[in-house]
Amino acid sequence: MAEIDLEDMEKYKSIIKEVACEKKVDPALIAAIISRQSRAGKTLNKGWGCTNTFGLMQILITSDRRRHIGTDLWANKEQICKGTIILIDFLLRIKHAHPDWSKEQQLKGGIAAYSAGDGSIHSYETVDSKTPNGDFSNDVIARAQWYKTDGGF
Q: Please tell me the distance from the alpha carbon of residue 22 to that of residue 18, in angstroms, as a whole number.
A: 6
DSSP code of 50?
S
Model pLDDT for residues 33-90, shown as the tens digit of each residue: 999 999 998 988 888 887 778 888 988 776 555 544 555 567 789 889 999 999 999 9
Give pLDDT, residue 71: 53
In the chain, what percentage of residues exceed pLDDT 90? 74
Q: Taking CA 20 as the corner, what is the angle to CA 17 and CA 26, rounded to the nearest 5 degrees? A: 100
Domain at 2-6+19-149: CATH architecture: Orthogonal Bundle (1.10)
Give pLDDT, residue 18: 98
